[in-house]
Structure 1
């Protein structure tokens, strides 16, 4: 589908019809016609999308459809919310509201009628804009981009830097003697240099000698099976008119058979450049490539890790990262000044040149393109400064440069992933994004679909993060020890692409200048800097759905927002924003709100009107100061995630009946004991403050019947002693336990019987905990951070039979880890962080990944185990 926003909004409008049908009886027919018109209009959007980059009129036409789709959703949802707000009131009250309901129904009917007229006018203007039916037309913008992307091994780039080690590794792998045909793959984001590296390898002298039969073909996203087969066959045979005529007449099966015959009994090397889909790979190799004993190889490049793994699950993909600072600078000098190795830069150009390189963020394609721009500038500082000042505009609008390459990746995304990618453009440049927070945001935006009862929208959202990372549209910054993505970022050039796409479609805006104007049409607004004028929005308030603040914590004055002006708001993130001590009571007017982020604000209290936010899914009030709330939490029937550091209520906090609640963070022990926790049928993660008076045995009895509970986190205040932890064995459903807080000098006497993950943080254990922990038969994940003060950990040969991931962090006194023979047989990853005194590690399985980061200590060196570690992922001394 062409426009990701319209596609998703039309789907949501249909869902609303089903969900709110009881409230829409009087206008059901009008709403259904509205949705049907939007669905029909959506059929013309693919043709429009392919041409809107070249025609502002078409862009405006698509923008009008998008605005109408949003307004349709807003009208239905606001009306339904009004009606729902009185459903729990008494009979007499509901009867008194009946005339108001009739008036509201009449009003929404007129609004839908007005919207229908708008859609009729938009439809009538389609022919004026020359927008055809789906599939009509000739050459498209996407096809032009594909032609720009075509690669050939003949045009090898001689100005290559930073690929020496990977070239050696690839050549070595391709020269291996194998009993079967193998696939070697190179993966990386668009513009990372995959094709350049593949050319260098393909033309390597050793490989030219080794393989007596070689071919190169660019597959691309618009894969044509017949054309690909013809291209390879032409490279393997003398070119004659008879061959060309024959190939044109051949069907797919004949072409596959001919290629198979050409390659049979030969030691061949075929490069398949830019493979996008697993289906394209399957179609190509199904019948065309012999799999004999000649040690033949296929070299594959792709932006998608899944394609590489699908092609050969036994071959680890070679992932191209961005260039380092010095390699980037050397490549830039070669491209911008046409200098050879070790040539310097004119002193007056170096400062501006290095800033240009910094903006390229290590992406070879970006450096090459901007270097080409500068090559004809006569080495004038004024010309280089002009390029720097217009850097983003020059790159993003140049269809023969970076944008042309990166747009291919964007165009290939399905509608929901396009929206997810565009949404990432709202975050500031170079910002590191928390994946859990991003997931909550996407779910609140309504772009995730629930797959089934066991796989909620959060699961789909995390899968989409992985898919974007797998396509190299998003970069992984940090993972957990068991390889789940924890934080990510977007390359600056891809962020510019997201911003350009979103701004062209006039639906989101970034406010990052003090004198910039906020558009009255914006639906998504990210504020990166605040104007001195407190009237941010002028006289015309935009119909915002999302309002996000970033990096404004140093603003001199408290931010004051008129919440009555944002009745259509679904997302409000005020993290680290300075505000008044109490959230205004007008927040209750924002009844469609799904996500509210107040982390790091100075908010001390939430008003009683907060209970009107029936659609709220995520509430983050993690502040250093205590947050006072009224007795309204139980009214937030859609609440899924409540994050806090300390909540105070004048009565025991009531949370019973919140059937959607999945995460409840740092609630007090007494508040838990005053609630019937069995009613929280979706609760998966629970964090509780305990002290020396807390009766853990009774708590565990209370939680033992909460069958959905998987993770329990117990925090103990630094001013208090830990209570007895008897009773944990009652928690049969709990598979993850976290204990945080000083003064825990001894481990609990028992643990949940099905425990597979354990985290100890900021505890004061003095005795070696391993003799106890290694007896936990199902433990697969163990993390200890600032948890143990002793100098030695000893692991016996019969312990930790299921442990796969072990992370030790900030164990300041630890000097050695001893492992008896046979210890840790299943270990996959050993991660060491900031253990400054550590000198000795145990022997671990050869397949274990060792991941060590420690500060430099001149008194000694870390002694690695004698058993070889494969692979050695990361081991450096900082």
Structure 2
């Protein structure tokens, strides 16, 4: 961890230099002591930097590295306390500071006593560092390339991989969760069970083998392991992974560096590229991480040759199984990126890493440096992107907000490099470590108490504590009393109900995450956490009150309150001038009391990037609330949600009855509604979002007309950067704004616009535009729950193009929509999803629709025709479908026949699916020669009719691949023509 130490020493040096010049240092009378320590630290920094450049360490390395690192942690804590006490002295009469226990054994007390104690502590650290300085190596230049020296650097013992630490019960639990129930349920289906990176056969022998029984007859189990003996003991058929040949390795390298690199550039780089690929020894992971380095260097032959000739290729590895290229990739990282990467290994292997939380933890740990007047969060985001670009982190395919460490070998290396200061514990497993001063503790699957496998009383130097999958943890009093040096504390999704008053002792705390915890109250002592940067209470549904002392958290950068039961937020939020992320701010008070925060509190928050406002209708004024917000990008504006009836009750009522009731309610509350509407429109019209907005959400707006700043001919000028727009529950607005004028808009969602009957040219903005293209960059359009929408038109002039970039269109629960707009035939759609459109009778003439058409619960849909490019069709519960034709490119067909639907209609004759396929399906199968895959979910009788000898077998056997499952999921049929697979459990009458 010398590289991380190098970064740590530089941070402490910079902090000492800054503090030495501050008034607080002079007020404490410790300027000479601080400057003496600074001089020692500068000398040590020079030696450490020298050692880092040479990548060598002597036999004494481990001892002095640990001593220097301990001193750096101590300096970091001392500086925090000095800043607190110095500010108190300068304020001369500020609020009393709580007594704080720190691992350097003194308490904040009277100023005179504190000056004596802190001066003694600083001098003691200086003396110890000077002694360590004498022991640090002084290596001649000639020994820089000594293999022995490098072997000393990479000779430390290795911390076990996370997969080693996972208990078999935890794996079994994950298997059950993946299949949605117990193992017997899995055995009723075809299944593929993958046990990745298996370290020992115990998981199979002690847990899964007996549970699965003869299930392996119906399923397959795939094992990946680095230990061939594991596979042998499990009597598995062994397939060795062959190394990539040079040409394949070169192709992968090119693709990873630049998938669009032209052939001429590749020709100039191929010779050196092949040599680099050869050094990767045909290992795909090695090639990918080396490609990450090359991508950062550009397509320069000289830069590639520098990577090829890097001394790091000749290092002696700390883990023999890790490819040498991985070490080269790690060494090539900057000190900050190394620390960021190592921090990711603190997460349990099976848990995705949340981007939002990760970057704020990096900041809390002091890893991130401010650069070019950017916010720390912006710099941290750049680190995150860089690690992904270098193939060290892998984005989750299901969410851009999550990532994983790319490969278990990378994780093993990171855990080994951070083993000297971190512990990861699963449940009540026995702790096998001699680590005396852990700085980072991760606990997974803990019960009520945290003080089980490790005594928190002895962990006074702990800097981060994170809990995962520990919903039963309640007792945290001991933690608050002992771990006084914490910077990061994550108690999210635990059963913690009460935060003890002793939380005020954690004066070093920067990051506090209580998301989803059962917290009922936050003590006023939280105001003593003057270094706190992130306070996240999202989803704390039992939380009903915030203390007024929250306005004392002057260093707060992120405050998340969304999803709580708070009725108001205390006044004074405007004092938190470092806030850049404010989520779930509730305006006003539920009983109009003056304690509630108003929009005026936002005026001073000029650093905001994300702002989420709730209960906007309780505001008294909003004229300048969003003024002076030049960096604001995400804006969420919401009034209180209207009271609605239970959805099940609404569904049981006749449509006429519902409309009559709505009309009566409108008549009875017209006066009150008019007043509410006018007040709502006044507040919203006074708000003027800045031009920097990229994401805008408007929810529960009660006005009849949209705010003036989101309509009119200059809408495009008002929001030149808007990429995402969501209009939700704007129930009284009868017309949509001219959103086609938004030149950068990529995603648009409109839901619960109950009063909109038609969507026409005003939506496109064609009444304003002459020749410009409406929605020039829109890629995703979603229309949901628009219960009165009847007509939608995309009519434009012949010279205009509409929706040129639209890829995905979703229309859900628009029961009165009679037809899709004719203009869609000119749109090159990839995906179209239509659900709950109960007045739509046909879908036709979409010649450019290519990837998928998904139709669900459209009660009167009868025809599908002229979709010549469509490759995949999914039909779920469209019971009146009669005609399907003109799908010449169809390759995949999926039909779902719900148990609630008894019949399918064709040519006015009831065709019982329990007997045969409808005529349109027979014709479709016969005419679509390119149909490769057919999936069907249906009743047991129809399933059996598809088996060999059944009424539909002559159709089924024409399709290369068929998968059919019964509605209850118990019976199945699988057929693959080319692979000669015919499997079913539906022949039995049981």
Regarding TM over 0.5, the answer is: yes
Q: Does residue 543 of the first structure (1) align with residue 458 of the second (2)?
A: no
Partners of 1:422 and 1:841 in 2: CA distance: 55
Inter-CA distance 31–136: structure 2 relative to 1 (3 Å threshold): farther
Partners of 1:424 and 1:5 in 2: CA distance: 17
Match of 1:866 among 822, 833, 848: 848
Task: Quote the residue 2:443 is aligned against.
Answer: 527
Partner-residue secondary structure (3-state), 1:714: strand
Residues 742-781 of structure 1: pairs in structure 2 closer than 5 A: 748-751=706-709, 754-755=718-719, 756-757=721-722, 758-760=724-726, 762-763=728-729, 772-776=738-742, 780-781=745-746
User: How big is the shift at 1:143?
Assistant: 9.0
Cα contact 2:544–2:566 (8 A) shared by 1: yes
User: How big is the shift at 1:543?
Assistant: 0.4
Task: Quote the residue 1:804 is aligned against.
Answer: 777
Residues 437-836 of structure 1: pairs in structure 2 closer than 5 A: 437-453=357-373, 455-477=374-396, 485-494=400-409, 496-504=411-419, 506-517=420-431, 519-530=435-446, 534-536=450-452, 537-538=454-455, 539-553=457-471, 555=472, 557-580=474-497, 582-622=498-538, 623-645=540-562, 646=564, 648=566, 652-670=570-588, 671-673=596-598, 675-690=600-615, 694=619, 698-704=621-627, 709-719=632-642, 724-726=680-682, 727-728=684-685, 730-731=687-688, 733=690, 735-736=692-693, 738-739=696-697, 741=699, 748-751=706-709, 754-755=718-719, 756-757=721-722, 758-760=724-726, 762-763=728-729, 772-776=738-742, 780-784=745-749, 786-787=751-752, 796=764, 798=769, 801=774, 803-809=776-782, 811=784, 818=794, 820=796, 830-832=807-809
Partner-residue secondary structure (3-state), 2:584: strand
Cα contact 2:608–2:631 (8 A) shared by 1: yes
Cα contact 1:142–1:408 (8 A) shared by 2: no
User: How big is the shift at 1:54?
Assistant: 9.5
Task: Quote the residue 1:424 is aligned against.
Answer: 344
Task: Quote the residue 2:130 is aligned against.
Answer: 120
Partners of 2:12 and 2:278 in 1: CA distance: 30
Inter-CA distance 515–44: structure 2 relative to 1 (3 Å threshold): same
Cα contact 1:810–1:834 (8 A) shared by 2: yes
User: How big is the shift at 1:527?
Assistant: 1.4
Partners of 1:546 and 1:221 in 2: CA distance: 39
Partners of 2:38 and 2:242 in 1: CA distance: 54
TM-score (norm 1): 0.63
Partners of 1:834 and 1:140 in 2: CA distance: 65
Partner-residue secondary structure (3-state), 1:120: helix
Partner-residue secondary structure (3-state), 1:665: strand
User: How big is the shift at 1:611?
Assistant: 1.2
Partners of 2:370 and 2:270 in 1: CA distance: 48
Inter-CA distance 273–521: structure 2 relative to 1 (3 Å threshold): closer
User: How big is the shift at 1:68?
Assistant: 1.5
Inter-CA distance 65–54: structure 2 relative to 1 (3 Å threshold): closer
Partner-residue secondary structure (3-state), 1:784: strand
Partner-residue secondary structure (3-state), 1:488: strand
Inter-CA distance 216–527: structure 2 relative to 1 (3 Å threshold): same
Partner-residue secondary structure (3-state), 1:562: helix
User: How big is the shift at 1:792?
Assistant: 8.6
Q: Does residue 35 of the first structure (1) align with residue 42 of the second (2)?
A: no
Q: Unaligned stretches of 5+ in structure 1?
A: 146-157, 172-183, 224-271, 289-300, 303-395
User: How big is the shift at 1:93?
Assistant: 9.1
Task: Quote the residue 1:378 is aligned against.
Answer: none
Partner-residue secondary structure (3-state), 1:522: coil
User: How big is the shift at 1:414?
Assistant: 0.7
* Residues 580-599 of structure 1: per-residue CA shift (max 9 Å, x gap): 2x311111111121111111
User: How big is the shift at 1:468?
Assistant: 0.7
Number of aligned positions between the proteins: 665
The structure with the larger Rg is 2
Cα contact 2:421–2:440 (8 A) shared by 1: yes
Partners of 2:687 and 2:474 in 1: CA distance: 52
Inter-CA distance 543–690: structure 2 relative to 1 (3 Å threshold): same
Q: Which has the higher contact order (CA 8 A, sep 6+)?
A: 1
Cα contact 2:448–2:475 (8 A) shared by 1: no
Task: Quote the residue 1:84 is aligned against.
Answer: 87
Partners of 2:691 and 2:72 in 1: CA distance: 44
Inter-CA distance 535–84: structure 2 relative to 1 (3 Å threshold): same
Cα contact 2:636–2:696 (8 A) shared by 1: yes
Cα contact 1:594–1:618 (8 A) shared by 2: yes
Cα contact 1:34–1:116 (8 A) shared by 2: yes
Partners of 2:118 and 2:571 in 1: CA distance: 38
User: How big is the shift at 1:571?
Assistant: 1.3
Task: Quote the residue 1:307 is aligned against.
Answer: none
Partners of 1:62 and 1:656 in 2: CA distance: 44
Partners of 1:764 and 1:85 in 2: CA distance: 50
Inter-CA distance 47–14: structure 2 relative to 1 (3 Å threshold): closer
Inter-CA distance 576–833: structure 2 relative to 1 (3 Å threshold): farther
Inter-CA distance 826–418: structure 2 relative to 1 (3 Å threshold): farther
Cα contact 1:768–1:793 (8 A) shared by 2: no
Cα contact 1:47–1:135 (8 A) shared by 2: no
Partners of 1:423 and 1:545 in 2: CA distance: 12
TM-score (norm 2): 0.57
Task: Quote the residue 1:409 is aligned against.
Answer: 329
Cα contact 1:677–1:706 (8 A) shared by 2: no
Q: Does residue 187 of the first structure (1) align with residue 218 of the second (2)?
A: no
Partners of 2:134 and 2:304 in 1: CA distance: 50
Partner-residue secondary structure (3-state), 1:712: strand
Inter-CA distance 220–673: structure 2 relative to 1 (3 Å threshold): same
Aligned-residue CA RMSD (Å) = 5.3
Partner-residue secondary structure (3-state), 1:24: helix
Task: Quote the residue 1:4 is aligned against.
Answer: 4
Cα contact 1:740–1:760 (8 A) shared by 2: yes
After TM superposition, the structure 1 stretch with the greater mean CA deviation from structure 2, 811-820 or 471-480, is: 811-820
Q: Does residue 70 of the first structure (1) align with residue 73 of the second (2)?
A: yes
Partner-residue secondary structure (3-state), 1:418: helix
Partner-residue secondary structure (3-state), 1:724: helix
Cα contact 1:739–1:759 (8 A) shared by 2: yes
Partners of 2:270 and 2:257 in 1: CA distance: 24
Cα contact 1:9–1:70 (8 A) shared by 2: no
Task: Quote the residue 1:230 is aligned against.
Answer: none
Partners of 1:544 and 1:212 in 2: CA distance: 52
Inter-CA distance 827–212: structure 2 relative to 1 (3 Å threshold): closer
Cα contact 2:831–2:849 (8 A) shared by 1: no
Partner-residue secondary structure (3-state), 1:73: helix
User: How big is the shift at 1:739?
Assistant: 3.6
Inter-CA distance 843–170: structure 2 relative to 1 (3 Å threshold): farther
User: How big is the shift at 1:489?
Assistant: 1.9
Inter-CA distance 529–853: structure 2 relative to 1 (3 Å threshold): farther
User: How big is the shift at 1:839?
Assistant: 8.0
User: How big is the shift at 1:818?
Assistant: 4.6
Inter-CA distance 57–819: structure 2 relative to 1 (3 Å threshold): farther
Partners of 1:556 and 1:84 in 2: CA distance: 37
Inter-CA distance 442–651: structure 2 relative to 1 (3 Å threshold): closer
* Residues 402-460 of structure 1: per-residue CA shift (max 9 Å, x gap): 3433222212111000000001111121322222222222122222122243x211111
